[in-house]
């Protein structure tokens, strides 16, 4: 049996909490959201949950899910790791800060705890991670969304950006967060290529990974449906977080 904490009670955090509430392996759920009313409403909906500040529940949980914001990662991640707790980070864009990321990894080694990074709204991360062991020559992420997703209007397909993952996340922090997990799995932030496209006729957010190296070639593409509770969030992102929760409690480990 484990106890979990969840920071952020939006679409993803709520999906994880509801899943955990029905799992025999989870006995307690602690929720926190900067908007207290939202967190308390979710806690009232569930059987095993209660609303508490992170500082208050940290000593009583085994793992903490972050599903809030980069600011939440910067504010709480080090405290969580220092407390010797495992952590699941959904807002992986925060880890583009090299010094911050390496410090978290160092502390996690010292405290013998783990940091989990769900694959989010993309597919193919396992393949890229395995391929990187043999050697990768090139990894590219092509993200295609409607112009409205970028707050713009175009009458035809338009390439908004073509460069490195590190550059992309500075210009499009809300739209290419998935490139962070891909970069860490493969060639790093400065060698991972990202192309951001606005297409007025697209119906779904699309993320396509292209990679080649000594292993051969990889092509993985996902056309994401929106989360039923938040159209701006891909449903697959919630499902990837739930998959990590199941991985933590399940003795059978599938994939890498």
pLDDT tens series, the chain, 256 aa: 999 999 999 999 999 999 999 999 999 999 999 999 999 999 999 999 999 999 999 999 999 999 999 999 999 999 999 999 999 999 998 999 999 999 999 999 999 999 999 999 999 999 999 999 999 999 999 999 989 888 899 999 999 999 999 999 888 877 778 899 999 999 999 999 999 999 999 888 899 999 999 999 999 999 998 888 876 688 999 999 999 999 999 999 998 7
Contact 47, 24 (CB under 8 A): no
The verdict on pTM exceeding 0.85 is yes
C-alpha to C-alpha distance for 172 and 43, rounded to whole angstroms? 33
Q: Which of 207, 235, 236, 237 is catalytic?
A: 207
Q: How far is CA 171 from CA 3, 125, 152, in A?
A: 37, 23, 14
Domains defined along the chain, listed by start: 2-117+235-249 (3.40.50.720), 125-224 (3.30.360.10)
For strands 192-198 and 158-164, give the pairing. Answer: antiparallel
Task: Give yes or no: 212 in active site.
Answer: no
Number of other CB atoms surrounding residue 45 within 10 Å: 12
């Amino acid at each position: 049996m484990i106890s979990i904490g969840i920071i952020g009670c939006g679409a993803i955090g709520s999906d994880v909490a509801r899943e955990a509430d029905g799992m025999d392996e989870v006995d307690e759920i602690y929720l926190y959201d900067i908007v207290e009313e939202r967190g308390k409403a979710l806690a009232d909906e569930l059987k095993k949950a209660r609303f508490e500040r992170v500082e208050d529940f940290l000593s009583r949980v085994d793992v903490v899910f972050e599903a809030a914001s980069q600011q939440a990662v910067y504010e709480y991640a080090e405290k969580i790791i220092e407390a010797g707790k495992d952590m699941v980070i959904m807002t992986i864009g925060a880890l583009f800060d090299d010094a911050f990321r390496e410090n978290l990894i160092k502390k996690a080694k010292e405290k013998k705890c783990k940091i989990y990074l769900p694959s989010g709204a993309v597919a193919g991360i396992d393949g890229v991670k395995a391929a990187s062991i043999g050697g990768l020559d090139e990894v590219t992420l092509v993200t295609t969304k409607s112009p409205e997703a970028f707050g713009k209007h175009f009458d035809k397909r338009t390439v908004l950006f073509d460069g490195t993952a590190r550059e992309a996340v500075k210009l499009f922090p809300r739209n290419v967060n998935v490139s962070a997990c891909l970069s860490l799995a493969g060639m790093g932030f400065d060698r991972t290529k990202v192309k951001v496209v606005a297409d007025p006729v697209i119906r779904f957010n699309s993320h396509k990974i292209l990679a080649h190296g000594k292993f051969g070639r990889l092509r993985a593409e996902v056309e994401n449906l929106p989360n039923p509770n938040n159209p701006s969030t891909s449903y697959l992102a919630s499902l990837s977080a739930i998959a990590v929760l199941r991985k933590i409690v399940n003795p059978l480990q599938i994939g890498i």
